[in-house]
Amino acid sequence: MPKENSFLEKALLVQVETTKVRRILNFENSLEEFRDLARSAGANVLDEIEGKQELASPRYFIQKGKLEEIKQAVHKNKIGLVIFNHALSPSQERNIESYLKARVLDRTGLILDIFARRAFSHIGKLQVELAQLSHLSTRLVRGWSHLERQKGGIGLRGPGETQLETDRRLIGNRIKALKKKLVKSHNQKSLNRYARKKGKNKIVALVGYTNAGKTTLFNALTGGDEYQADQLFATLDSVTRKNLSPGSRAILFTDTVGFISEIPTELIESFKTTLDDLRSADLLIHLVDINDPEKELKQKEVTRILKDLNVDKIPQLLVNNKIDHLSEKKTTRAGVSTP
């Protein structure tokens, strides 16, 4: 087990294999990515519980025996947060929480949390808030019915309106306002200035799975000093800069947010503003980490997301990255290990 870090939130990770509905990455690699996600969210992973079942069970997602096992581990290590590498329905999340007496976060919630930690720009923050509210609004529909009994709240509601209706209305209003703000901020962004001059300057966008090395290449090509790190979702905001190489024509490179398998739809929807920059590109450079055991599947996922974003007709160059790493001995990555 890793040393306890009192500054981080103590967490337990849960991943089960559903043999009748397989996920995109294989079990081990999916677990590895899950550990990276948990680490990126600042979790101090004290335990992991794995399981295997045919299908998700409706009430708790996992089987009761497994849930009891988790409960005991939670109790033993005084863990306050249990993270599932699965999308849980609002009622499953609530049922598990009341059984375990611990906070439960699903894969979508985890990814949203990382995004919230990484959003520094004005547009980034707006996009994350939009994604979180969209996620919350789906939870309100079925999950918060207990709020319907609460009434009151000066100046908040119209006649006969329940708390749930008020919450929905307020969230709906905020979502609408956020979308408006996003469009406005986007129009003011520098890329549009560049786009107007686009006749002269070609735009090349770097795309790929998270951690493929987009920002590192972007910095090398443009002399930029954007944040690059061995972390999932190090980049959230698109940045565009001119190439460095003297003598050649000016080319504008755009660095973008990375993709991930089973990406929450709320995120794709909310990040349309940033991802809109891809539409102005003349060429997409699709970076693939050649050392990644799941590179083919990840490449397929990126291709699928690009199609979803309607940018699959833009010429694309597939580039194998981190080839220097190929000859190096494979090192094991940090996860739950014994010191």
Ligand X SMILES: Nc1nc2c(ncn2[C@@H]2O[C@H](COP(=O)(O)OP(=O)(O)OP(=O)(O)O)[C@@H](O)[C@H]2O)c(=O)[nH]1
Instruction: Work out whether 299 is an interface residue with ligand X (CB under 6 A).
Output: no
Q: Which does 212 bind (CB under 5 to 8 A by kind): ligand X, Mg ion, none?
A: ligand X
Q: Which is nearer to ligand X, 193 or 227 (CB)?
A: 227
Helix, strand, coil shares, percent, the chain, to 5 = 45, 20, 35
Q: Which of residues 201-230 bind Mg ion (CB under 5 A)?
A: 214-215
Q: Which does 124 bind (CB under 5 to 8 A by kind): Mg ion, ligand X, none?
A: none
What x/- string results for residues 172 through 211 when contact with ligand X is judged by CB under 6 A? Answer: ------------------------------------x-xx
Which of 16, 191, 234, 275 touches Mg ion by CB under 5 A? 234
What is the side-by-side order of every strand in the sheet holding 9-18? 43-53, 9-18, 81-84, 103-105
Q: Which does 280 bind (CB under 5 to 8 A by kind): ligand X, Mg ion, none?
A: none
Report CA-CA distances (Å) from 176 to 124, 156, 184.
Answer: 17, 18, 13
Number of residues that bind Mg ion (CB under 5 A): 4
Q: Which is nearer to ligand X, 70 or 217 (CB)?
A: 217
**What b/e string do you get for 30-43 counting C-beta neighbours within 10 Å, with b at 16 or more?**
bbbbbbbbbbbbeb
Q: Which of residues 245-284 bind Mg ion (CB under 5 A)?
A: none
Whole-angstrom Cα distance, residue 71 to residue 82?
10
What x/- string results for residues 258 through 277 when contact with ligand X is judged by CB under 6 A? Answer: x-------------------
Could you tell me if 122 and 185 are in contact, meaning their C-beta atoms sit under 8 angstroms apart?
Answer: yes
Instruction: Work out whether 132 is an interface residue with ligand X (CB under 6 A).
Output: no
Which of 96, 105, 136, 212 touches ligand X by CB under 6 A? 212
Residue 213 corresponds to which tokens in the numbers above?
């090395």
Q: Which is nearer to ligand X, 148 or 230 (CB)?
A: 230
Instruction: Work out whether 305 is an interface residue with ligand X (CB under 6 A).
Output: no
Whole-angstrom Cα distance, residue 217 to residue 220?
5
* Amino acid at position 22, single letter: R
Q: Which does 213 bind (CB under 5 to 8 A by kind): ligand X, Mg ion, none?
A: ligand X
Instruction: Work out whether 334 is an interface residue with ligand X (CB under 6 A).
Output: no
Angle between helices 64-77 and 90-100 (to 10 degrees): 50
Which letter does DSSP use for residue 89 in this model? P
* Amino acid at position 303, single letter: T
Instruction: Work out whether 222 is an interface residue with ligand X (CB under 6 A).
Output: no
For residue 326, the Cα-to-chain-centroid distance in whole angstroms is 27
Phi, psi of 18, rounded to the nearest 5 degrees: -100, 105
Q: Which does 230 bind (CB under 5 to 8 A by kind): ligand X, Mg ion, none?
A: ligand X
Which of 228, 261, 273, 274 touches ligand X by CB under 6 A? 228
Instruction: Work out whether 333 is an interface residue with ligand X (CB under 6 A).
Output: no
Q: Which is nearer to ligand X, 50 or 292 (CB)?
A: 292
Q: Residue 138: how many CB atoms within 10 A of its CB?
A: 14
Instruction: Work out whether 40 is an interface residue with Mg ion (CB under 5 A).
Output: no
Residue 2 corresponds to which tokens in the numbers above?
């890793």
Collect all residues with Cβ–Cβ distance below 8 Å to 137 and sequence separation of at least 6.
168, 171, 172, 175
Round the CA-based radius of gyration of the chain to a whole number and report it: 22
From the CB of 231, what's the least distance to ligand X, in Å? 6
From the CB of 253, what's the least distance to Mg ion, in Å? 12
Question: Nearest CA to 174 among 213, 121, 136?
Answer: 136
Q: Which is nearer to ligand X, 14 or 252 (CB)?
A: 252
Closest residue by beta carbon to ligand X: 258
Binding site for Mg ion (CB under 5 A): 214-215, 234-235
Binding site for ligand X (CB under 6 A): 208, 210-216, 228-235, 258, 321-322, 324-325
